[in-house]
Amino acid sequence: MKRTVPALLFIAALFVINPDIHAQCKGFAKKICKQELTPYIHDGNYNADILTEGEEADLYKTFYSGMHYRLAVCGAEPLSKIEFQVIDAYKNVLYDNRNHDLAMTWDFQPESSQQLRIVLKVPVSNKQAEYPLSSCVAIMFGFKDK
């Protein structure tokens, strides 16, 4: 009985404590990541999901001439900082935050409108760990007129 009670309590806790992780992800995107965009205005798009260490994700977005943009990539605890690259249509890497101490944001202004690809990767913090870590990763864009 002593062995099973702790096990039963643990399983019960999973059902009681287990939160709606997608709602938490939205909360993280809105309350934490969106603040990184200030003084830029958030474009309203919601790009956030649960990612695991070692996972990659990408998205394409069009950026227009005459505008200033800020790109913010945020990882919630317990994930470490997120790696990201910005790549043009000719596969040139325009920005790699690994060269900037895994900075969370990048400000830029395109001279002409174009479609760029943003690639995210969640780095592995401990290759010896039994289970990889997962958490919310959000990517948000802000803009302002030139």
Partner 1 sequence: MEATRKLAEGMDIRDAIDEETMIRLEDNLNNRDVVMDIISETFLNSSSYLKENERQAVAAIVLVGGWIEGLYLATQLVGEKPIEGNKLVDRIAEQKLSFSIVDRMLEDNKVNEKGEENLDIVSLINDLQGLRNAYNGIIVQTSAVKVEADNTTNVSTLKSQTKITVTPEAFTGLRDAVNSLRSNFIL
Q: Which residues of this chain interact with partner 1, rule CB under 8 A?
A: 20, 22-23, 26, 29-30, 34, 41-46, 48, 60-65, 68, 88-90, 92, 94-95, 106-115
> Nearest distance from residue 53's CB to partner 1, in Å?
23
> Nearest distance from residue 65's CB to partner 1, in Å?
7
Of 12 and 22, nearer to partner 1 (C-beta) is 22
> Nearest distance from residue 113's CB to partner 1, in Å?
4
Q: What gap in Å lies between CA 132 and CA 80, rounded to an integer?
A: 12
The C-alpha angle with vertex 17 and arms to 12 and 19, in degrees rounded to 5, equals 130
Tokens of 132: 């990889």
Tokens of 119: 């690639």
Of 94 and 129, nearer to partner 1 (C-beta) is 94
Of 12 and 41, nearer to partner 1 (C-beta) is 41
The H-or-E segment that residue 24 falls in is: helix 21-31
**What one-letter code names the amino acid at 103?**
A
Of 84 and 106, nearer to partner 1 (C-beta) is 106
Residues 106, 86 contacting (CB under 8 angstroms): yes
